[in-house]
Amino acid sequence: MKQDYQSCLISRLSRFVTLTDAECAFIADLEKDEQKRKKGRPVVSVGEATDGIMVLKSGWAVVKADSSDGRSQILRVYLPGEVMGLAELGTSHAHHRIVMQTDGMVCPFPRKGLAPLFIDFPRLAALLTSVGSLDQIALRHHAGVLGSLDAAGKLKSWLLQLRSRLEVANVGLGNRFQVPFSQVEIGQAVGLTSIYVNKLLRRFVENGEMEIDRPYVRLLKRDEWEKECEYVDAFVNMDTSWFPPAIGAETTGTAQMAEPV
């Protein structure tokens, strides 16, 4: 009998392959230790020993870098169903802090518990590696945008990427999605002052390019923005042709497509 797994991570991964019940059960094991975290509270601090990974089961989190003069930069945003700590598996201590952007739930999983992932679930390991690869590609595109586009283009591109990632996570479909950031925090993510962010958002609304109903926004001219910014959606195509076969043929009903994309 198939089990009904309620998981943002399972939902996210099921966009790319049809997960087996055994794979879903392993993911459920990753998420079994649920810990509530409040908005603004640290998940990981700089210099702290890293013992493994954490599934962000609900809520949003951000990676921050702090300068000696007290300024902060948001390096990346974590969304529901994403795995935090994959980039830190090769080091014993955290180099940046991770802070909850909203209230949420994290599920820590020890590094030593990951061995069965590579031994017993090689296809799932390949899938998580590929998802991490797409995340890195998206971060590179964002870094390129910060260095090449004007202020309006930087903000538009950031919103477009956020929309794409929310769609993959199945928590933000279409052109209306949540943006739980202050204008100061948006500025920290795109390298602008809060005053400039405010000016741009007002301009977008006045020009009929977007609607704002905090904490939600709606992109009214998304296609035009994508052409203007030469936006590349890193999450549209994933090469699954090299994945090893899944161990165990039975699949769960949570999958959204029968074949890899």
d(CA 42, CA 37): 8
Quote the mean pLDDT of the chain: 89
Confidence (pLDDT) at 50: 85
Confidence (pLDDT) at 260: 35
d(CA 2, CA 188): 45
For residue 240, which of 10, 73, 65, 19 has the smallest C-alpha distance? 19
d(CA 98, CA 61): 7
- The full DSSP string for 21-79 is HHHHHHHHHHTSS-EEE-TT-EEE-TTPBP-EEEEEEES-EEEEEE-TTS-EEEEEEE-
Contacts of 48 (CB under 8 A, 6+ apart): 93, 94
Confidence (pLDDT) at 174: 82
Q: CA of 250: how far to CAs of 121, 186, 246, in Å?
A: 14, 44, 9
179 pLDDT higher than 90? yes
Q: 230-244 burial, b if ≥16 CB within 10 A, otherwise e? A: ebbbbbeebeeeebe
Q: Which of 3-12, 119-128, 144-153, 186-195 has the least mean pLDDT?
A: 3-12
For residue 13, which of 131, 162, 155 has the smallest C-alpha distance? 131
For the chain, what percent of residues have pLDDT higher than 70?
91
Check: pTM over 0.85? Answer yes or no.
yes
CATH number of 8-229: 2.60.120.10
2 pLDDT higher than 60? no
In this prediction, residue 171 has a pLDDT band, given cuts at 50, 70 and 90, of low
Confidence (pLDDT) at 5: 63
8 pLDDT higher than 60? yes
Please, what is the Cα angle at 13 between 54 and 166, to 5 degrees? 80
d(CA 256, CA 48): 38
Please write the tens of the pLDDT for every residue from 113-158.
889 999 999 999 999 999 989 988 999 999 999 899 999 999 999 9
Confidence (pLDDT) at 185: 97
Please write the tens of the pLDDT for every residue from 74-88.
999 999 999 998 877
201 pLDDT higher than 60? yes
Side chain identity at 80, as an amino acid letter?
Answer: P
255 pLDDT higher than 60? no
Quickly count: other Cβ atoms within 10 Å of residue 252's Cβ. 19
Average pLDDT over residues 59-65: 96
90 pLDDT higher than 90? no
d(CA 22, CA 248): 7
What strands lie across the sheet with 72-78, from one edge to the other? 42-44, 97-100, 61-66, 72-78
For residue 238, which of 16, 59, 83 has the smallest C-alpha distance? 16
Is the distance from CB of 2 to CB of 252 less than 8 angstroms? yes
